[in-house]
Amino acid sequence: MTGSFKDLKVYQLAFEAAKTIFLISKSFPKEETYSLTDQIGRSSRSVCVNIGEGYRKRIYPKHFTTKMTDADGEATETSIWLDFAYSCEYISRENLNLLQLKYEEIGRMLNSMANHPEKFTPKTK
């Protein structure tokens, strides 16, 4: 596999989900600025960052695997923050379900990438 990490479907899904969360979280109450809003923003963006970092180091399979599992951990954290946002009535059931489905798909893709780093190792000439 060659090209940019930005070409990966998992990166594109994670970026789209993080952007959606950013837009939704703009309506969270001010008292959540340094807690829920900050945490959900950081974890959702960290999924993308870990994918990018891991892909750039894919020549080292163990490093790649570590970064994909880190990204999966951040996706799980984001999913939990979404549960809190819903339980505090900051997001609708529809938005919760949509985003949870995206993060489930992202998690499956990251798990597959972590289990098969050889599929992403650059080919030598």
Per-residue tens of pLDDT for the chain, all 125 residues: 568 999 999 999 999 999 999 999 999 999 998 899 999 999 999 999 999 999 999 999 999 999 999 999 999 999 999 999 999 999 999 999 999 999 999 999 999 999 999 999 987 76
Longest CA–CA span in the chain (Å) reads 56
Q: How much is the pLDDT for 43?
A: 98
Q: How much is the pLDDT for 123?
A: 79
With CA atoms as reference, report the closest residue to 112 among 77, 72, 62.
Answer: 72
How do residues 34-43 score in pLDDT, each as one tens digit? 899 999 999 9
Q: How much is the pLDDT for 124?
A: 73
